[in-house]
Amino acid sequence: MKVVKFSGSVVDFEPEKLKKSLLKSGATPLVVDRILVTIQSQIYNGITTKQIYKLAFGLLKKESNSHAAQYNLRAAIQMLGPAGFYFEKYVARLFTLEGYKTITNMTLEGKCVSHEIDVALKKDDVISIIECKFHASRDVITDVKIPMYILSRFNDLKDRKQTIFTNTDKISNCWIVTNNRFSSDAIAFGICSQLNMLSWDYPKKGNLRHKIDSNKLYPVTCLTTLTLAEKDKLLVMDIILASELINNIESLERIGLSPNRIKNVLKEVTELCKYLNHES
């Protein structure tokens, strides 16, 4: 059986790979096996992986909203666009939960020119900056030109006194964070240049997916009990994480949800955070 990937390439259908992704949603092996049987009875030669994903998501949602939300994670992060403004806030939340002080969206003066900084970090008196590379399409890979460009910005800023957290801060580290993947050349250049790099699957341990699971960092965009318009309203209100809705009925009321729908949303959020807490 051949399937068409997001990139357009044609590959063999791998049921074990699909099973693994379904199990990551928190669904039981029995539920996953039942879903796999249904999917295998409905797919055909030439079906797209996007169609398979939609089918799996729909079947999971019938079993559990929170499991469907977990399965929807990567697509949900791609909804933190279109320009990546909310992705920058999301990345700041991630580092905050790891004990960093963070500031987003600021301009700093370098030796040669000024630079817009996505996120500034401070931990143990070490100041770092983050460049966020957001991609709305899963096909886009962050290639070597990006770390080369970011290194030049970092070199223009480092070792100069900056007003960030205090009036005498000096930047000594630089991060590149992307919601997609790095090319092999980008990784090689980053390692050689001592840049910190974080993507969906890099590094092997402590990658973006792992950090999300260990920190319960689910975006509100993954919730299956909210419409796209309702998710957008929450983002505008600076509610980025699903966990920020716990004990926050007021925000759900402000976007026009009925008491019954509020109950359903909070149930999904609670189950999702409970599952993640168990995993961590």
> Domain containing 224: what range?
219-279
Please tell me the least confidently modeled range out of 171-175, 233-237, 271-275.
271-275
Classify residue 253: in a domain, yes or no. Answer: yes
Count of structural domains within the chain:
3
Task: Provide the pLDDT confidence category of residue 1 given band limits of 50, 70 and 90.
Answer: confident
> Does residue 214 lie in a domain region?
no
Is residue 59 a part of any domain in this protein? Answer: yes
Does residue 186 share a domain with residue 154?
A: yes
The answer to whether 227 and 177 have CB atoms below 8 angstroms apart is no
- pLDDT top residue among 26 and 154: 154
Q: Do 54 and 112 share a domain, yes or no?
A: no
Residues 196, 113: one domain?
yes
Mark whether 111 and 190 lie in a shared domain.
Answer: yes
> Do 198 and 238 fall into the same domain?
no
DSSP code string of 137-169: STT-EE-THHHHHHHHHHHHHTTSEE-SSSTTE
**209 or 273, higher pLDDT:** 209
Are 20 and 111 found together in one domain? no
CATH number of the domain where residue 172 is located? 3.40.1350.10
Same domain, 121 and 58: no
**pLDDT tens-digit profile of 159-184?**
899 999 999 999 999 999 999 999 99
User: Do 144 and 225 have their domain in common?
Assistant: no
Exposure string for 248-265, b = 16+ CB within 10 A, e = fewer: beebbeebebeeeebebb
Block residue for tokens 């590959």: 11
Tokens of 271: 């189950």
**Structural contact between residues 181 and 60, judged by C-beta atoms closer than 8 angstroms:** no
Cβ atoms 189, 148 nearer than 8 A: yes
Q: What is the pLDDT of residues 26-44, one digit of tens each?
A: 899 999 999 999 999 999 9
Q: Other CB atoms closer than 10 Å to residue 151's CB: what's the count?
A: 19
Residue 212 in domain: no
Q: Give me the mean pLDDT over the 183-191 stretch.
A: 98
Please compute the mean of the pLDDT values over residues 247-253 and round it to a whole number.
95
Predicted model pTM? 0.88
CA 264 to CA 241: how far, in whole Å?
17
Does residue 150 sit within a domain?
yes
Picking from 147, 179, 205, the residue at the C-terminal end of a domain is: 205
| Domain assignment present for 79 | no
Asked whether the predicted pLDDT for residue 136 surpasses 90, the reply is no
pLDDT at position 215 over 70:
yes
* 179/257 same-domain check: no
Quote the pLDDT of residue 84: 77
**What's the rounded mean pLDDT across residues 144-156?**
97
| Structural domain ending residue among the three candidates 181, 205, 229 | 205
Predicted confidence at residue 280, as pLDDT, reads 36
Please give the mean pLDDT across all residues of the chain. 93
Residues 232, 195 share a domain: no
Q: Does residue 200 belong to any structural domain of this protein?
A: yes
Q: Is 50 exceeded by the pLDDT of residue 279?
A: no
150 plus 196 within the same structural domain: yes
**Looking at the structure, do residues 198 and 147 belong to the same domain, yes or no?**
yes
Which is more confident, 81 or 232? 232
Cβ–Cβ under 8 Å, residues 143 and 186: yes
In the prediction, which pLDDT does 216 show?
Answer: 84
Give me the pLDDT at residue 275, please: 53
The answer as to whether 257 is a domain residue is: yes
